[in-house]
Every structure is written in C-alpha cells, then in structure tokens.
C-alpha cells in the first residue's frame, strides 16, 4: 500500500513542471510511497499507460536514477517512455536522496540502495494489475551497480538492463581509469577518519559535491559533462544536488557490486553504454564477469550523460525488445 495520503497521492501542476522532460499525454502518473526493510519511506512516480486494462496483470519495470540525481530527471524519462510502450513503470528516489526519507540526507549506503530496489519490487508486485512474475529493472549510472547488487540476491527481478553504469565501488576505490594508488587510498581514509573526529566533536558535515558548481578553462572533461546536465537548465533540479557526505566514501571503497554477478544467471542482463563514454569500461567489466544470457550494447557516438536524456540516441527500441522478450 502507498503510505502517502490521498491528497499527497495527486500529481500537482508544480510536480509536473519540475520534471526535466515534457509530460506525456499517453500515461497516467501516480505519486506513491513505500517502505524498505530498513524502515525508510521511499517516494516515487508510477507511470501507467492510459487505457490499460486494469482487470488484467501486466509486466512492470522499475527505474533507478543516477547517483545524486532524482526521479524527475532521467529515470522518470525512461519510465514514462516505456509506459508509453505498454509497461507499468516506477521511478523512485533512492533512500536519503530526493523526496525519499532517511536522515541525515545525502549519506550513501550501497547495501541500502540495493534494498531500495527490492522494496520497489515489493510495492509494484503487489499492485493488482501487475504480474509479479514479470518485473524488470533499469539502473542508470550509479543505480546500475546498485540494481546489479539487488538482482544478485533478489530472484524476483526477472530481467535487468543498465544504462551508462558506474561501478561506484571501483570509482571511489581506484578513481576513474584506476589512477588511485594504495598509498593514496590510505591517505584518503586517514583524512576521512580525522573528519569523523571533527564531526563527532560538533563540526558541520563535509560533503563531496559530485558535480562542480561552476566550470572554467581548467575543468576536466568529465566534470564539465556532468555540469552541463546537473547545473544547467538541461537537467537541473532542486532535489538533485549530487552532494554526498565525505564520510560515505569508505562504504563505497569497500563495495564490490560485481563480485557475485554470475548469480543473476539464467536471468538476462543487458548492459548499455555510450561508445565514447568515460564510464564504458564499467559496463565492459560487468559484462565480462556476468554469466549468460548477457549482452553488451554500445550506442554509437554517445557519451556517458548523453544516455540520460538524448531521446534521439537512447535505444528505447532495444529496451522494449529486451523486456518484451524476457518479461513473459
């Protein structure tokens, strides 16, 4: 059951205007909430194709947003587009982010994020018009690895697709392109340990910004790519700060989402990455580690963030084919 009141369940004009994509007239959007097993209330938007026969059961797809993002951005766009194609879909905010509960906010728990996907399965699989044996998941960017973790332990996820996936453990542990040395890693952990002392003694929480607030001629290409989405009208949203507490870093450093990825087999996996994406190697690594059936699909000419919102190059036909085939 939804934990929102009937008044809160209504999508308002303000809610619609805050979405970073045009709202479709082909779907009905319901604002919903549900608890994960840790007692955190998660908030989401359920997209239902208009005219859907509610007396029958249908396939459903859960979509997770990039880490630091929100359901009003790319995950909502994916959910809406796939609802237009006949699926019941759900885009939700991860715990401690967006509108979802959990205090303090902007604190990362990889295990908790994986649980969020299982809680979303609990919710959507108990709708009378959803076939609980036909539930798939899409994880975008950071949610890609969180959804892999969820699928490893939750066989109710019947098919999984990742988009521009980040391995949040490897990225924090080794840096992009694996440039962080063991000694540098130890130094980072030592500084975080000192920050914990400072915060235990009353200092304010320190945050990693994730995306810079401004760019200049010295800004690296990856930071600029994220800036042009999260800090510009293209994708900017007030609840998508991309901030994460510095003290969250150790939890990510010791997070290995692909360690048991072969357990997902024989459920199918689809890894989608941009040809020129700086994150492409994360999907390639996961693909190599995974057992069959699996597919690595490279989008020609696409970068990492391109697959957040560039409708003309996002392979929605491929996703539709994948879930139509495997959710039955």
User: Could you report the per-residue pLDDT of 50-96, keeping only the tens digit for each?
Assistant: 999 999 999 999 999 999 999 999 999 999 999 999 999 999 999 99
- pTM of the entire predicted model: 0.94
Q: Per DSSP, what are the bridge partners of residue 207?
A: 245
Say yes or no to pLDDT of 7 above 50.
no
pLDDT at residue 201, rounded to an integer: 98
Assess if residue 136 is contained within a domain.
Answer: yes
3-state secondary structure of 311: coil
3-state secondary structure 52-79: CCCCCCEEEEEEECCCCCCCCCHHHHHH
pLDDT at residue 278, rounded to an integer: 98
Of 110, 227, 224, nearest to 173 by C-alpha is: 110
Kindly state the average pLDDT of the residues 133-157.
98
Say yes or no to pLDDT of 5 above 50.
no
Assess if residue 187 is contained within a domain.
Answer: no
Assess if residue 62 is contained within a domain.
Answer: yes
pLDDT at residue 18, rounded to an integer: 67
Q: What is the DSSP letter of 314?
A: S
Assess if residue 51 is contained within a domain.
Answer: yes
Say yes or no to pLDDT of 15 above 90.
no
Assess if residue 267 is contained within a domain.
Answer: yes
Q: Are 165 and 271 in contact, with CB atoms under 8 Å apart?
A: yes
Note the helical H segments in the chain. 13-17, 74-84, 110-125, 142-153, 168-174, 182-200, 221-230, 249-253, 280-289, 306-309, 316-326
Give the structural domain span for 111: 13-175+255-326
Least confident of 10-24, 73-87, 181-195, 284-298: 10-24
Assess if residue 47 is contained within a domain.
Answer: yes
Measure the CA–CA gap between 7 and 189, rounded to whole angstroms.
Answer: 46
Q: Per DSSP, what are the bridge partners of residue 62?
A: 90, 137
The rounded Cα 227 to chain-centroid distance in angstroms is: 18
CA dist 109 → 38, 42, 196, 203 (Å): 11, 14, 16, 22
Q: Assign residue 59 the CATH number of its domain.
A: 3.40.50.1820
Q: What are the pLDDT digits (tens) for 257-296? A: 999 999 999 999 999 999 999 999 999 999 999 999 999 9
Tokens representing residue 48 in the block: 């239902």
The domain total for the chain is: 1
Average pLDDT over all residues of the chain = 95
Assess if residue 119 is contained within a domain.
Answer: yes
% pLDDT > 70, the chain: 95
pLDDT at residue 19, rounded to an integer: 87
pLDDT at residue 14, rounded to an integer: 57
Assess if residue 88 is contained within a domain.
Answer: yes
Q: What are the pLDDT digits (tens) for 25-47? A: 999 999 999 999 999 999 999 99
Q: Per DSSP, what are the bridge partners of residue 91?
A: 45, 63
């Amino acid at each position: 059951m939804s934990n929102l009141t009937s008044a809160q369940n209504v999508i308002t004009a303000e809610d619609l205007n805050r979405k970073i994509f045009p709202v479709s007239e082909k779907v009905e959007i319901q604002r919903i909430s549900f608890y994960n097993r840790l007692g955190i209330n998660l908030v989401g938007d359920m997209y239902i194709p208009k005219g859907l026969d509610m007396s029958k059961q249908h396939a459903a797809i859960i979509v997770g947003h990039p880490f630091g993002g929100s359901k009003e951005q790319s995950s909502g766009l994916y959910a809406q587009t796939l609802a237009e194609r006949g699926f019941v879909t759900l885009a939700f905010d991860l715990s401690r982010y967006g509108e979802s509960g959990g205090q303090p906010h902007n604190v990362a728990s990889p295990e908790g994020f994986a649980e969020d996907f299982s809680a979303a399965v609990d919710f959507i699989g108990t709708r009378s018009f959803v076939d609980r044996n036909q539930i798939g998941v899409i994880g975008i960017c950071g949610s890609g690895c969180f959804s892999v973790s969820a699928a490893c332990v939750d066989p109710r996820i019947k098919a999984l697709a990742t988009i521009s996936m980040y391995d949040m453990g490897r990225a924090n542990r080794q840096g992009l392109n694996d440039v962080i040395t063991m000694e540098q890693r130890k130094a980072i952990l030592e500084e975080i340990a000192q920050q914990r002392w400072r915060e235990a003694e009353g200092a304010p929480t320190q945050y990693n910004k994730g995306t810079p607030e401004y760019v200049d001629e010295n800004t690296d290409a990856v930071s600029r790519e994220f800036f042009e989405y999260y800090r510009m009208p293209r994708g900017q949203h007030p609840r998508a700060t991309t901030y994460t507490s510095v003290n969250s870093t150790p939890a990510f450093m010791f997070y290995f989402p692909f360690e048991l990825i072969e357990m997902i087999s024989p459920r199918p996996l689809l890894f989608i990455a941009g040809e020129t994406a700086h994150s492409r190697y994360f999907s390639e690594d996961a693909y190599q580690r995974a057992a069959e059936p699996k597919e690595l699909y490279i989008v020609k000419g696409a970068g990492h963030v391109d697959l957040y919102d560039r409708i003309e190059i996002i392979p929605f036909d491929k996703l539709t084919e994948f879930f139509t085939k495997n959710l039955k």
